[in-house]
């Protein structure tokens, strides 16, 4: 019996040792990378006024107490606690060149009046110059001046990073210098609604306030992401900007102090199953063109509303977000091949890109569902000249939705009174008779109806599955 217990104990110990040996060792990585991670401090000057002072100022006009309130104002102006105050905040960053260029998040330094950088083990902070900022990707580039040759980190290849791989985050959460946490890549390509080019790496390595701008490292010590966002209500959920996106942005900020992006001049939306069926596309893929802006690169190159962009150069386009990122990654003036799906087949167009402004490259609001005429619960009539003028149209066109029946397919599809149907199955419709012809012909044959709708100044496509009868 003692021999059996001893053997069992030996097996347990061996298994524990084997499991421990399988876990990665982060000591060398933390030591080598830590010196290039910095603490970023910002100061914002805020002018403050006492709420009570504001209350009295608001109420004083035209009252018998004007003299009193003037004395009240003078009192507040003389109070020392009414002087501007300083708001301080902390973040992280990392050095990418030994002469002092530092990467961080834009939100770490946005609106700051003073920015300073503390190096690991440093005795004093260094004032930092903001070289450039890119709010769309939440990235910023700083520069400090020092005679010392600084330790650096290099960007790795985020595309080759796989879900399940170990990663390490280094930063200053809650002001705690050079905190090291480890975890795995939980997911890639996350869209969290923070900006037009969302493509985040999700990780369960602990990320907290103050980690923003710090590096997410692979086991080789390469930066595969810039820690940016957390889910406040959850644990083990953090997001990092992929390094392959970041290094393009940072290179432009370093060279030009700004980022220039390609621009097509379209509004786009995803392709769902019904839309794919209506367009005779083999699967839901690509980016559907809801509208083409007049005089912009897409229109000049022959792109039309109703086209589906399925390929840029040799890269397949998965969805609208992928198109946004792909075009934004190209330079203004660049000539590219754009493959669209039109009338049941592929068509290649040559497009010379424009330059994207911050407000441009709109992504159409995601479509609701929709459905057709009387049997589908729609009341329609042509748009009259007065309505066309109110809707901002050059001339009357399309069919105005004047009513949607309760419990109808149209209501279920969230078609709304006031919508204007411009096209049905990619054919212009200006009369109810034209609409019915399309409905009973092409739409019934396909089993779906594709509508181009103008709603509150925006063009969106709706796809409708027709009842079997």
Whether residue 23 is contained in a domain is answered as no
232 annotated to bind ligand: yes
Band (pLDDT 50/70/90 cuts) for residue 18 is: low
Concerning whether 301 is annotated as a catalytic residue, the answer is no
110 annotated to bind ligand: no
User: Per-residue pLDDT tens for 353-390?
Assistant: 999 874 333 344 333 333 335 666 677 888 877 667 66
Whether residue 423 is contained in a domain is answered as yes
The answer on 48 and 139 residing in a single domain is yes
Concerning whether 159 is annotated as a catalytic residue, the answer is no
The domain boundary, picked from 290, 320, 355, lies at 355
The domain that contains 235 carries what CATH number? 2.40.10.10
Given 134, 136, 138, 222, the catalytic residue? 138
Q: What is the structure's pLDDT at 67?
A: 54
Whether residue 227 is contained in a domain is answered as yes
Q: Does residue 146 register a pLDDT over 70?
A: yes
SS3 368: coil
Whether residue 25 is contained in a domain is answered as no
User: Per-residue pLDDT tens for 195-251?
Assistant: 778 899 999 998 888 899 999 999 999 999 999 988 766 677 899 999 999 999 999
The domain boundary, picked from 83, 117, 143, lies at 143
How many folded domains does the chain comprise? 4
Concerning whether 272 is annotated as a catalytic residue, the answer is no
The answer on 439 and 388 residing in a single domain is yes
Sheet holding 85-95, edge to edge: 126-127, 114-118, 37-46, 85-95, 101-104, 139-143, 129-134
SS3 456: coil
The domain that contains 283 carries what CATH number? 2.30.42.10
User: Per-residue pLDDT tens for 85-108?
Assistant: 777 888 999 999 999 999 999 999
3-state SS string for 114-167: EEEEECCCCCCCEECEEEEEECCCCEEEEECCCCCCCCCCCECCHHHCCCCCEE
The answer on 181 and 134 residing in a single domain is no
107 annotated to bind ligand: yes
What's the chain's length in residues? Answer: 469
**Which structure tokens are listed for 207?**
């990320």
Contact 370, 453 (CB under 8 A): yes
- Tokens 């507040």 correspond to 76
The domain boundary, picked from 221, 256, 291, lies at 256
Whether residue 337 is contained in a domain is answered as yes
Band (pLDDT 50/70/90 cuts) for residue 56 is: very low
Q: What is the structure's pLDDT at 80?
A: 54
Q: What is the structure's pLDDT at 394?
A: 67
User: What are the residues whose beta carbons fall under 8 Å from the beta carbon of 61, sequence distance 6 or more?
Assistant: none
Whether residue 169 is contained in a domain is answered as yes
134 annotated to bind ligand: no
Average pLDDT over residues 181-188: 94
138 annotated to bind ligand: yes
User: Per-residue pLDDT tens for 288-339?
Assistant: 988 888 888 999 999 998 899 999 999 999 998 899 899 988 999 999 999 9
Q: Does residue 11 register a pLDDT over 70?
A: no
The answer on 428 and 388 residing in a single domain is yes
Q: What is the structure's pLDDT at 434?
A: 82
The answer on 385 and 337 residing in a single domain is no
The answer on 444 and 405 residing in a single domain is yes
Q: What is the structure's pLDDT at 262?
A: 92
Dihedral pair phi/psi, residue 319, rounded to 5°: -160, -175
210 annotated to bind ligand: yes
Q: CA–CA separation, 328 vs 446, rounded Å?
A: 35
Whether residue 461 is contained in a domain is answered as yes
Average pLDDT over residues 178-195: 89
E strand or H helix that includes residue 4: helix 2-22
Q: Does residue 424 register a pLDDT over 90?
A: no
Domain carrying residue 320: 262-355
Q: In this structure, is the dihedral angle defined by the CA atoms of residues 72, 73, 78 and 82, taken in order, positive or negative?
A: positive
The answer on 341 and 246 residing in a single domain is no
Q: In this structure, is the dihedral angle defined by the CA atoms of residues 26, 27, 32 and 36, taken in order, positive or negative?
A: positive
The answer on 223 and 204 residing in a single domain is yes
Give CA 306 to chain center in angstroms: 24
Given 92, 206, 212, 301, the catalytic residue? 212
The answer on 417 and 325 residing in a single domain is no
For residue 279, CA distances in Å to 312, 318, 450 come to: 19, 16, 8
Q: What is the structure's pLDDT at 444?
A: 78
Whether residue 347 is contained in a domain is answered as yes
Among the listed residues 420, 429, 424, 402, the one whose alpha carbon sits nearest the alpha carbon of residue 458: 420
Q: CA–CA separation, 149 vs 119, rounded Å?
A: 12
The answer on 321 and 271 residing in a single domain is yes
């Amino acid at each position: 019996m003692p021999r059996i217990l001893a053997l069992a104990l030996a097996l347990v110990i061996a298994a524990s040792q084997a499991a421990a040996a399988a876990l990665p060792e982060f000591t060398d990585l933390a030591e080598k990378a830590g010196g290039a991670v910095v603490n970023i401090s910002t100061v914002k000057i805020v002018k403050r006024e006492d709420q009570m002072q504001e209350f009295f100022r608001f109420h004083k006009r035209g009252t018998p107490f004007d003299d009193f309130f003037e004395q009240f104002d003078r009192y507040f102006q003389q109070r020392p606690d009414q002087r501007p105050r300083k708001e301080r905040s902390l973040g992280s960053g990392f050095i990418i060149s030994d002469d002092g260029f530092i990467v961080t998040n834009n939100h770490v330094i946005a609106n700051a009046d003073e920015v300073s950088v503390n190096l690991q083990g440093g005795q004093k902070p260094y004032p930092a110059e903001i070289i450039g900022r890119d709010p769309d990707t939440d990235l910023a580039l700083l520069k400090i001046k020092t005679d010392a040759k600084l330790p650096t980190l290099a960007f790795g290849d985020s595309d080759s990073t796989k879900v399940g791989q170990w990663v390490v985050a280094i930063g200053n959460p809650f002001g705690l210098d050079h905190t090291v946490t480890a975890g795995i890549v939980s997911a890639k390509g996350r869209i969290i609604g923070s900006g037009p080019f969302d493509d985040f790496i999700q990780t369960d390595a602990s990320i907290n306030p103050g980690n923003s701008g710090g590096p997410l490292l692979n086991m080789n010590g390469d930066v595969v992401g810039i820690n940016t966002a957390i889910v406040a209500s959850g644990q083990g959920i953090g997001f990092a900007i992929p390094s392959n996106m970041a290094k393009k942005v940072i290179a432009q900020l370093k060279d030009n102090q700004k980022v220039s992006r390609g621009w097509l001049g379209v509004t786009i939306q995803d392709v769902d199953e019904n839309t794919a069926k209506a367009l005779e596309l083999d699967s839901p893929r690509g980016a559907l063109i809801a509208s083409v802006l007049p005089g912009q690169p897409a229109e000049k190159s022959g792109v039309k509303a109703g086209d589906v962009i399925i390929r840029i150069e040799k890269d397949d386009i998965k969805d609208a977000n992928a198109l946004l990122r792909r075009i934004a990654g190209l330079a203004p003036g660049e000539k590219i091949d754009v493959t669209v799906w039109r009338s049941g087949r592929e068509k290649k167009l040559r497009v010379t890109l424009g330059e994207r402004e911050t407000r441009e490259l709109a992504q159409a609001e995601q479509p609701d569902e929709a459905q057709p005429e009387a049997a589908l619960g729609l009341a329609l009539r042509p748009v009259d000249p007065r309505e066309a003028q109110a809707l901002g149209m050059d001339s009357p066109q399309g069919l105005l939705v004047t009513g949607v029946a309760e419990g109808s397919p149209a209501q279920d599809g969230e078609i709304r009174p006031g919508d204007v149907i411009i096209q049905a199955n990619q054919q212009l419709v200006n009369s109810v008779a034209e609409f019915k012809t399309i409905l009973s012909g092409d739409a019934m044959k396909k089993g779906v109806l594709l509508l181009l709708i103008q709603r509150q100044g925006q063009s969106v496509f709706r796809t409708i599955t027709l009842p079997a009868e």
